[in-house]
Amino acid sequence: MKAFQGVTRTAFLGFFSSHIVFTVIVDLQALLPATLFPTPLRNLLAWYTATLKDPLMSDPPLWFQSLICFELVIQLPFFCTACYYLTKYRVLYPDKFRIACIAYSAHACTSMGPILASLATATALSTVERAVLVNLYLPYLIFPAWLLLASVFSSVPTERPKIY
């Protein structure tokens, strides 16, 4: 797969590196016991949920917690891997990275469906509150969809492996 360059590379590097931080300090609080997080991080989550009234983070339903579990086990290692490849390779990425991008992107896009639908239809929120939350979560659909398209439609090596 041809390496991302310029603004595209910077955008993906920023997305994945920031996603590492947000996963560890915010998202995992919906899954793990509060005692594992320092008070400032718990206060950050409390401020976020009070300010934006995010029903998924304030009282995480089981289905959302299961998605956070997948984020911890599947996505977080991929974010680290993606940052590595985006900083190391400048011309071509190994095909195993392309395959990992497709797998991650398909999973992330699929996961965002119920999240966005839940937020868009949350009757306890006003129209403006729903719009703010949907727009806050939307990059977590847009970037994976962009990566999926770039990975699927990137050139693949035309030389077939030799079979002996």
In SS3 terms, 59-98 reads as CCCHHHHHHHHHHHHHHHHHHHHHHHHHHHCCCECCHHHH
Does a structural domain hold residue 147?
yes
Two structure tokens written together for 56: 């998924």
Contacts of 158 (CB under 8 A, 6+ apart): none
Q: Residues 25-46: what's their mean pLDDT?
A: 97
pLDDT at 82: 96
Flag whether 161 is in a domain: no
Each residue's pLDDT tens digit, 82-138: 999 999 988 888 889 999 999 999 999 999 999 999 999 999 999 999 999 999 999
Does any domain span residue 92? yes
Residue 160 covered by a domain: no
Amino acid, res. 142: I
> What is the model's pLDDT at position 159?
53
Mean pLDDT of 147-162: 74
105 neighbors 73 (Cβ within 8 angstroms) = no
78 within 8 A of 15, measured Cβ to Cβ? no
Q: Would you say residue 93 lies in a domain?
A: yes
Number of helices (H) and strands (E) in the chain: give both, helices first.
8, 0
Which one-letter DSSP state was computed for residue 161? P
In this predicted structure, the answer to whether residue 147 has a pLDDT above a threshold of 90 is: yes
Q: Which of 83-87, 141-145, 153-157 has the lowest mean pLDDT?
A: 153-157
What's the pLDDT score for residue 90?
81
155: helix, strand or coil: coil
Residue 107 vs residue 160, higher pLDDT: 107
Domain range spanning residue 50?
A: 6-152
- Looking from the CA of 29 toward its CB, the CA atoms found within 13 Å total 22
Nearest 5 degrees, angle CA 21-CA 22-CA 25?
80
Nearest to 68 by CA among 38, 26, 105, 109: 26
The whole-number pLDDT of residue 162 equals 53
Higher per-residue confidence, 57 vs 95: 57
* pLDDT for 156: 60
How many separate domains does the chain show? 1
Q: Confidence band (pLDDT; 50, 70, 90) for 2?
A: confident
Average pLDDT rounded to a whole number, residues 41-63: 97
